[in-house]
Amino acid sequence: MLKYIVRRVLQAIPVLFGLSIVLFAFVHLLPGDPTRAILGQHATPELVARLRESLGLDKPLWEQYVLYIGQLLRGDLGVSIVTGAAVSSEFVARFPGTVELTIAALIFAVGFGIPLGRFAARHPQGVRDASVTVISLLGISIPVFVLGLSLQWIFGAQMKILPTSGRIDPRLNLDIRTNFMLVDSLLAGRANVFVDALRHLVLPAIALGSIPLAIITRITRASVLDVANEDYVRTARAKGLTERRVDGRHIMRNAWLPVTTVIGLQVGSLLAGAVITETVFGWNGVGKWVVEAIQDRDYFVVQSSILIFALIFLVVNLVVDIGYAYLNPRIRYG
């Protein structure tokens, strides 16, 4: 197992290196000039030239890339062109918001997706199965921004029961320690702030978790049906075991592998989908930050944040692969 982990870590190095090249080229090929975003469209050419020189944008692209890689190897993610703040400090400040939203969306997707998939598998080719199929197809088909705006209009503008933007009511004073609003409110012992932060989390979590919910539902249904037709399941029923024990010990235990794979992969999808969701709901996280950085041509912010997301995705995949050995002892990694 240790050799496998070391090999996977070493394999991640060329992946991240290749991604850094693609990102660097893509970001610098975007139309527009970051100096114009900072100084405005009416800045004089002399002022623009001085700013480009101070930011190192007057150097050839290959030299800029070499300098950027050198910074990364030293653990320096660079400095925001627009704000002048270190990318690492801004990322640390905003990442808890994205993590909080991602976890909530994953809980929503898994909490409803697995039971719906199991429910559909128990009633195959029937009305209940068809209803779950329709729900899952709608979840995959509706774009996140359309669903988000629809939720805002229904529950915020019409019913007025849930907030539509932000992470917390700005009128509430909260001592920020971890940047996790739910955690900070509990640490402060303020139940009203915790409830308010939870209410702000509901709509964006539903919007972000809708596609993973549909995917997990479909995979769970297919996996449970596949295992339920195995000979050892029929043998267990023939021995007189209760349906609950057959379902828990024989069916779900063997159906978990593909479901676990999908759940692990959805973490990366949720982080990527958070870009749209955070923009729609005005959520102060990394996704909204990256969108603003793209608009301002803030190269270091875009490159470094996406590289960190890629690293997180690789780590999650490694954790899922290691979890296979726990879920299925027959799997061994060399």
> What's the helix, strand, coil split of the chain in %, to 5?
75, 0, 25
- Nearest one of 131, 326, 329, 117 to 226, comparing CA atoms: 117
Q: What is the dihedral of CA 10, 16, 19, 21, to 10 degrees?
A: -100
At 306, is the pLDDT very low, low, confident or very high (cuts 50, 70, 90)?
Answer: confident
Top-level CATH class of 96-327?
Answer: mainly alpha
DSSP 247: I
- What is the tens place of the pLDDT at every residue in 165-179? 888 888 888 888 888
Which DSSP helix (H) or strand (E) runs through 321?
Answer: helix 299-327
- What is the tens place of the pLDDT at every residue in 100-140? 999 999 999 999 999 998 888 888 888 888 888 888 888 88
Domain ranges of the chain: 2-73, 96-327
- Nearest one of 168, 195, 189 to 97, comparing CA atoms: 168
Question: Roughly what angle, to the nearest 10 degrees, separates helices 127-141 and 87-122?
Answer: 160
Please give the Cα distance from 308 to 173 (Å, whole number): 31
- Give the pLDDT of residue 107: 93
* 298 close to 19: Cβ distance less than 8 angstroms: no
- Nearest one of 6, 7, 20 to 306, comparing CA atoms: 20
- What is the tens place of the pLDDT at every residue in 252-302? 777 777 888 788 878 877 877 788 899 999 998 888 888 888 887 787 788
Please count the other Cβ atoms lying within 10 Å of the Cβ belonging to residue 307: 16
Q: What is the pTM of this model?
A: 0.82
- What is the tens place of the pLDDT at every residue in 54-83? 767 777 878 888 888 887 888 788 788 777
Average pLDDT (211-234) is: 84
Please count the other Cβ atoms lying within 10 Å of the Cβ belonging to residue 177: 10
